[in-house]
Structure 1
Amino acid sequence: MKKAFSFLLMLAFLIVGLPRAYAENSRDEVVKIAKEQLGAPYRFGGTTPSGFDCSGFVQYIFDKIGIELPRTSSEQYQVGTAVNKEDLLPGDLVFFKGTYKSGISHSGIYIGNSEFISATTSQGVAVASMNNSYWKPKFAGARRVMEESLPPGQFYDVSSNHPAYKAISELSKTGIISGFEGSYFKPDLPVTRGQAAAILNRYLRLPASSAKTFSDVPLGMPFAKDIAAVKEAGIIAGYNDGTFRPYENITRTQMAVIIDRAFQLSKSPIMASTTAKYNDVNPGFWAYSSIVAIKAVDCTGVFNRASFNGNGYATRMEFASAVYGAIQALQK
């Protein structure tokens, strides 16, 4: 089998508006220091453990790790980089509006599990859920003021106990599948036909006689050569109207079929003794052998479930797991 070559992807991050540079800091340390102040009293204008207001508390905690922040919540909201709520990590700043005045009026520190810690008028420094009835409608945004470039194969949103961690990590290290800016993998995003072609061909390294094969895949399009290669190899075909539809999401059934075609899984010796099956896939179904093959070679546990749900979109995590399982099976 062909071996993919490792590559290093190092991201540099610019934190705008911070008065001084800083070394990489542990997010766990920020949370630990913040929690040490639980129960500290509230004092308007306070910036010490004898009494904090919300922005004074945030400023105090980050000063402990060498990051200087502005004094007020509205000023703090202007530093760092914006972060989507679903991408929050411990140590990110969270902001709320309309608490005691219009606009940004409260800041805190995200600690994980949809919770944040802040200095409140009612409880002093306390932990609260971002989803409770008071804070959820007042959420205004989040900012990241500490950012570490993760090593190749590691992502903020794929922990080491994630079932697909090894598959994602190994495929990423060898350049077969890539992540997104900021060391995110976004495992639950669907996979498109163009992405599927590129991922497979980064491992297979199939040649193409011509990159111009479909009316909707111009030569300058990313993955054009990969799309042409997998088409010539009979792995992913186009449509009757001459299009490939590279941005169309693939279903789990389509994923199973194209990975089976790419690695010839249903013809491999492992299928002779497999007992793999799904309760929603009948033996007479046209893609039955391909679907069963995905489960038979799975070494992550991602496909170890009763139902396959073939009409649902295949996610990046599932596609990576299926490709990794196929590679491991053929290397045995």
Structure 2
Amino acid sequence: MKRIFSSLFIIGLLFSLLPTFKVEAATEKDLLNIAKSHIGVPYLTGGTTPKGFDCSGFLVYVFNKIGVSVPRTAAEQATVGKSVDKSALQPGDLVFFKNTVSGKSGVTHSGIYTGDNSFISATSSKGIAIVSLDNTYWAPKYAGAKRISYSASNSTTFSDIDKDFFAKEAIQQLNVQQVIQGFEDGTFRPNESVTREQAAAIINRVLKRKSASLYSYKDVATSSRFASDIAAIKELGVINGFEDGTFRPKETMTRAQMAIIVQNAFKLDKKITYSASSIMYSDVPPSYRAYNAIMIMKKIDTTSGFQTKVYRTGDDATRAFFSAAIYNAINS
């Protein structure tokens, strides 16, 4: 069996190729045992826990149990690893299917090959189940397979991120998706503050907006490595500039600003509802300008990082909390 890792980069630099690494046979057996132990768990749209899984969420959960991070969606999962012919499938390979969701084309379903021409995945009819690749529904929708590879010298664990760190899963997932990553010395530096230009770049790596022009604000040179991201985010109305026509790219971002930006980027105010009486921070009154965005941050949180009594609106947004906020928004 094989696992995945994405190479580190300093934020703002271009991404490099994804290196790969090999897993021992025992890990492959563990992977399949973990997957099979959840047979019968019901299907749940957006589900990533044993309470309920969707197809890609099931793979994220199972691989995470053996210390491997894979992208969150089936389409993204199909972009990693080495392509494998159907005739050469091995247990543990990822298998993909297209056009399984009404109105959506391309890869929309993923599973794990179990051997004997079968695969295990989260199905809407039976929950987690093992099904034959020759099944009359799945056979015509088969879209290919990938073998995730591993290099023993690499790891998705950063030297300064403990196994129990609240944002570990968020950081790992975004690292695999090349949204926010670490530094050349193997650290993530979770407590470093995020600047406005970094925030623009990170969010645009999720939204993938191509700007019509590199010009955006008078203090952002078109030659800046963040110029296209800042211009794109401006066009989307995610991060606004100031009345004097500046963006102030090097300024750090507060936690209140982070909440507003994440809400804008993912249109969470149109998707998430909450009961104000059940989601409270003692330092965020209903009259506060970012009240709605901050309440949403707590509502969608699955990392525990935002489950506190105070929000600390004026504190700098750190790389760890920004990662958690983006991760929560993607999975909401």
2:7 — aligned with what? 9
Structure 1 distance, partners of 2:216, 2:234, is 8
Q: What is the letter of the counterpart of residue 278 of structure 1?
A: Y
Structure 1 distance, partners of 2:226, 2:5, is 19
Structure 2, unaligned stretches of length 5 or more?
Answer: 10-151
Q: Secondary structure at the match of 1:206?
A: coil
Q: Secondary structure at the match of 1:231?
A: helix
Q: 2:219 aligns with which of 207, 216, 220?
A: 216
- 1:327 is aligned to 2:320: no
- 1:240 is aligned to 2:238: no
1:181 — aligned with what? 184
Q: 1:269-328: per-residue Cα shift (whole Å, max 9, x none)?
A: 443698322111011111100000011111100111000010111110000000100111
- 1:312 is aligned to 2:315: yes
Structure 1 distance, partners of 2:320, 2:237, is 24
Q: Secondary structure at the match of 2:274?
A: helix
| Range moving further from structure 2, 215-224 or 295-304 | 215-224
Q: What is the letter of the counterpart of residue 233 of structure 2?
A: V
Q: What is the letter of the counterpart of residue 202 of structure 1?
A: R
2:282 — aligned with what? 279
- 1:172 is aligned to 2:170: no
Q: How does 1:61-100 map to 2 (within 5 A)?
A: none
Q: What is the letter of the counterpart of residue 255 of structure 1?
A: M
Contact 1:187 1:317 in 2 (8 A): yes
Residues 149 and 241 of structure 1: CA distance in aligned 2, closer, same or farther (over 3 Å): farther
Q: How does 1:9-88 map to 2 (within 5 A)?
A: 9=7
Shift of 1:168: 0.4
Contact 2:6 2:175 in 1 (8 A): no
Contact 2:194 2:317 in 1 (8 A): yes
- 1:264 is aligned to 2:262: no
1:52 — aligned with what? none
Residues 270 and 160 of structure 1: CA distance in aligned 2, closer, same or farther (over 3 Å): farther
Contact 1:294 1:303 in 2 (8 A): yes
Shift of 1:201: 0.5
Q: 2:233 aligns with which of 230, 233, 237?
A: 230
Structure 2 distance, partners of 1:223, 1:7, is 25
Q: 2:193 aligns with which of 165, 190, 195?
A: 190
Structure 1 distance, partners of 2:198, 2:302, is 22
Structure 2 distance, partners of 1:283, 1:197, is 28
Structure 1, unaligned stretches of length 5 or more?
Answer: 1-5, 12-147
Q: Size of the alignment, in residue pairs?
A: 187
Structure 1 distance, partners of 2:222, 2:235, is 16
Q: What is the letter of the counterpart of residue 250 of structure 1?
A: M
Structure 2 distance, partners of 1:272, 1:307, is 17
Contact 2:8 2:183 in 1 (8 A): no
Runs of 4+ in 1 over 3 A off after TM superposition: 269-274
Structure 1 distance, partners of 2:250, 2:320, is 18
Q: Secondary structure at the match of 1:271?
A: coil
Residues 290 and 10 of structure 1: CA distance in aligned 2, closer, same or farther (over 3 Å): closer
Structure 2 distance, partners of 1:307, 1:327, is 24
- 1:206 is aligned to 2:204: no
Larger radius of gyration: 1
